[in-house]
Structure 1
Amino acid sequence: MKQLVGTGVALVTPFHQDGSIDFAGLEKLVDYSINGGVEYLVILGTTAEAATLTKDEKKQVIETIKKANANRVPMVLGIGGNNTAEVIAEYKETDLSDYIAILTVSPYYNKPTQEGIYQHYKAIAESTEQNIILYNVPGRTGSNINPETTIRLANEFKNIVAIKEASPNFLQSTDIIRTNTREDFNIISGDDEYALPMTLAGGSGVISVIGQGIPEIFTDMIRKALNKDVDAAYTQHYKAVEITRAIFEEGNPCGIKAVLDNKGVCSPYTRLPLVPASEKLTEKINQLLAEI
C-alpha cells in the first residue's frame, strides 16, 4: 500500500456558529491540505466530530470532499464502532469504490479482550474485500490492541493493510515494526508528536491532525524522515512541536480548528459536547503560528 506512505490528514468538519456544516470551509480545507502537499485525505475520523453528524450529514460531507478533491489524492474513509454487526452492515451499505482503505477503530467502551478485538476485526475482514486500516487509540477506546494481536491480524488477513498506532507507549510501535513480517503492511503513526521518530524507526508516515494546519512543514518533515534525512527532518519537527502540543491541550479538534481559523481556512466552531478553544489557548496558538 504505497498510497499510505507519507502524510495523511484526518480532516475536521467545519461548522458555522449556529452548528450547521460550513461546506465552503470544508472545500477550502481540502484545497489547503492538498496544496500543502499531503499524500492522502482521511474522511469522517474522530477529528471530524463524526459522532455528532447525522447519516445525511455524513453523506454530504463525503460528497463535498470527493468533489473538492477531484481525484487529486487518495482518500480513506472512517467506519468503525463497538457493535461489530453494525460496522459490517455499514460496510455493506456504503459505496467504498472511491477509497483506498477504510479506517476502523478498535471497539470502544466495551473494553474487549485481545481475543475479542481479534474476532471483531476478523469478522470485518471476512465481510469485505476492501482494504482495512486498524486504529489503536487506547486513550479514546479504553483498551489497547497489543502488538501480538496486530501482527496476528496482519499475517492472517491480506486486506488488513495497515495500523494507525496511537498508543502512548512508543515502544509498542517499534515492537510492531520490529516483528512485522509483511512488507506490504504499513505502520502509521496516529500521534503527531511521535510521527517523526516512528517514521525514522521504519514506519510509513502519519495520519495527522496538525498536518492540515501546517501542511508544508509537516509533509516535508515526513518526506525527509522517509528518506532518512534525519537532521533536516528534525529541523522541521522542532518548528512544529510546540504548536503540535498546543492543539491538544483542550482536546481535539478544538485546537486544530483554532489553527485553521488563524489561517483563514474555516471557523473555530465545534458541536457540543465539544466547545471551541478558549481565548487563552487561541492566543497561545496564534503566537506560536506567528513564530513559525
Structure 2
Amino acid sequence: MAERINRDTRGVYIIAATPFTDRGEIDHDSLLSLVDFYIGHGVTGLTILGMMGEANKMTGDERRAVIDTVLSRSGDLPVVVGVSDAGLANLTDLASYAMDKGAAGVMVAPSAGPAREDRIEGYFHAVCEALGPEVPVCFQDFPLATGLPVSPALIRRLSQERDQIVMLKHEDWPGLTKITQLRKQEEAAGVARLSILCGNGGLYLPQELQRGADGAMTGFAYPEALVQTVALHHAGRVDEAEDLFDRYIPILRHEQQPGFGLAVRKYVLMKRGAIASAATRAPGPKMSAVDAAETDRLMARLEARLKG
C-alpha cells in the first residue's frame, strides 16, 4: 500500500496524461506504458484525472477504469486522484472508489460559481464533511482555469480547520508571493505546515522552490527535468538545479501554449515511446504537419543541448 499524502509530502507528483486511441477510446495498454515511463524517470508519485488528464471528457465508468489501470501498475508509488465534479455526490463517490483501490489522496478544485471566498470556503467544508476525515485532500488552486482567485488567508484557514487538507497544488499566476505568504504564516505558533507542490507546467519551478515549495505537481513530457531540478534543489545545489532546468525551457514553454499545449505534450510522449498515439479526445487540439516538424526541431535541439 502506497503512503498517503501528508503535510510533509515533497518531490514530483507528475500529472499523468490519459492516452487515447485515434478513435477516441482510452488506450489502457498505453496507460500502463505511460506509468512505466514515469516510474522509470524517477517521479515521487502520480496524479491522475486532472484537468490536463482530460477527466472532464470521460464518463464515470471510464474514470474508474483509469484508476484501476494505473493502480494495477503503480505498486508502492503514491497516486493522487482528481475527483473534482459539478456534483458533490459524484465527487464523493469517485473519491471513495479511488481510496478503496489504494489511492494516496484526492485533488479537489473549487466548484464553479461566483468568485466569493465565503462560497468557496463553505464548499470545501462540505467536501471534507462528505469525504470523511480519513481522506487526505490536495486543494487545487488554479485561478486561470477556474476563474476563482483564492487568498492565502483562506487556504490557511481551511487547512487549519480541516486537518485532512494537507496539500496545496499551487497554480496561481503570478503566484510566487502567495508561496512566500503561506510559508511566512507557518512561523507563527500553532500553524500547521502545508505541503506545496506547484503546477503551470513547471514554468517557474526554480523560483517556486526557492520561495519554499516542496516540489512539483504538473505535467511535462520530460519528467526527468522536474525530478532532477527538485532533487538538486533539495540537496542544496540551487544554482545547479536552475542551470539544469534552463536547458528545458524552450520546449517546456512550447508545451505550455494555452489550449494547444496538451497536443504538444502528447506528441512528445509518443515520440519518446511512452504512448502509442498523440490523440486528444474531442473536442481537443490536434497537431498539424508543421506543428510536428516544429516540435521535432525543439526536441533535437534539446537533445544536443543536453549532450553539450
Tell me if both proteins adopt one fold, taking TM over 0.5 as the criterion.
yes
Partner of 1:187: 196
Which amino acid in 2 is paired with 1:116? R
Measured in 2, the distance between the counterparts of 1:165 and 1:278 equals: 32
Measured in 2, the distance between the counterparts of 1:143 and 1:268 equals: 31
Q: Contact 1:84 / 1:120 at 8 angstroms: preserved in 2?
A: no
Partner of residue 104 from structure 1, selected from 96, 103, 108: 108
Q: Contact 1:10 / 1:47 at 8 angstroms: preserved in 2?
A: yes
| 2:114 corresponds to 1:114 | no
Which amino acid in 1 is paired with 2:160? N
Measured in 2, the distance between the counterparts of 1:230 and 1:142 equals: 33
Partner of residue 214 from structure 2, selected from 204, 211, 214: 204
Partner of 1:235: 243
Measured in 2, the distance between the counterparts of 1:162 and 1:221 equals: 20
Measured in 2, the distance between the counterparts of 1:18 and 1:228 equals: 47
| 2:293 corresponds to 1:283 | yes
Task: Please report how far the alpha carbon of residue 89 of structure 1 lies from its aligned counterpart in structure 2 after TM superposition.
Answer: 4.6
Q: Contact 1:44 / 1:58 at 8 angstroms: preserved in 2?
A: yes
**Which has the higher mean CA deviation after the structures are superposed, 91-100 or 238-247?**
91-100
Q: Contact 2:104 / 2:136 at 8 angstroms: preserved in 1?
A: yes
Q: Tell me the TM-score normalised to structure 2 length.
A: 0.87
Partner of 1:75: 79
Measured in 2, the distance between the counterparts of 1:225 and 1:40 equals: 18
Which amino acid in 1 is paired with 2:80? V
Partner of residue 63 from structure 2, selected from 45, 58, 64: 58
Residue identity over aligned pairs, in percent, reads: 24
Aligned length: 288
Which amino acid in 1 is paired with 2:229? M
1:168 match: secondary structure: coil
Task: Please report how far the alpha carbon of residue 7 of structure 1 lies from its aligned counterpart in structure 2 after TM superposition.
Answer: 0.6
Task: Please report how far the alpha carbon of residue 124 of structure 1 lies from its aligned counterpart in structure 2 after TM superposition.
Answer: 1.4
Partner of 2:230: 222
Measured in 2, the distance between the counterparts of 1:97 and 1:185 equals: 25
Task: Please report how far the alpha carbon of residue 92 of structure 1 lies from its aligned counterpart in structure 2 after TM superposition.
Answer: 4.5
1:276 match: secondary structure: coil
Measured in 2, the distance between the counterparts of 1:6 and 1:24 equals: 27
Q: Contact 1:106 / 1:145 at 8 angstroms: preserved in 2?
A: no
1:202-235 Cα distance to aligned partner (Å, 9 max, x none): 111010211xx21222200111122331111011
Measured in 1, the distance between the counterparts of 2:66 and 2:92 equals: 21
Partner of 1:260: 269
Task: Please report how far the alpha carbon of residue 252 of structure 1 lies from its aligned counterpart in structure 2 after TM superposition.
Answer: 4.3
Measured in 2, the distance between the counterparts of 1:240 and 1:215 equals: 11
Task: Please report how far the alpha carbon of residue 95 of structure 1 lies from its aligned counterpart in structure 2 after TM superposition.
Answer: 4.0
Measured in 2, the distance between the counterparts of 1:39 and 1:84 equals: 29
Measured in 2, the distance between the counterparts of 1:146 and 1:203 equals: 17
Partner of residue 43 from structure 1, selected from 40, 48, 65: 48
Q: Contact 2:99 / 2:105 at 8 angstroms: preserved in 1?
A: no
Task: Please report how far the alpha carbon of residue 22 of structure 1 lies from its aligned counterpart in structure 2 after TM superposition.
Answer: 1.2
Measured in 1, the distance between the counterparts of 2:186 and 2:301 equals: 40
Q: Contact 1:205 / 1:226 at 8 angstroms: preserved in 2?
A: no
Measured in 2, the distance between the counterparts of 1:174 and 1:273 equals: 38
Q: Contact 2:86 / 2:111 at 8 angstroms: preserved in 1?
A: yes
Q: CA RMSD in A?
A: 1.9
1:157-200 Cα distance to aligned partner (Å, 9 max, x none): 11100110111122223222222354541111112112221112
1:25-84 Cα distance to aligned partner (Å, 9 max, x none): 11111001001010000111111100111112112111111112123x111111113444
Task: Please report how far the alpha carbon of residue 275 of structure 1 lies from its aligned counterpart in structure 2 after TM superposition.
Answer: 2.3
Partner of residue 172 from structure 1, selected from 170, 178, 182: 178
Which amino acid in 2 is paired with 1:164? K
Gap runs ≥5 in structure 1: none
Q: Contact 2:255 / 2:265 at 8 angstroms: preserved in 1?
A: yes
Q: Tell me the TM-score normalised to structure 1 length.
A: 0.92
- Superposition misfits of 4+ residues, deviation over 6 angstroms: none
Gap runs ≥5 in structure 2: 1-5, 303-308
Which amino acid in 1 is paired with 2:71? K
Q: Contact 1:166 / 1:189 at 8 angstroms: preserved in 2?
A: yes
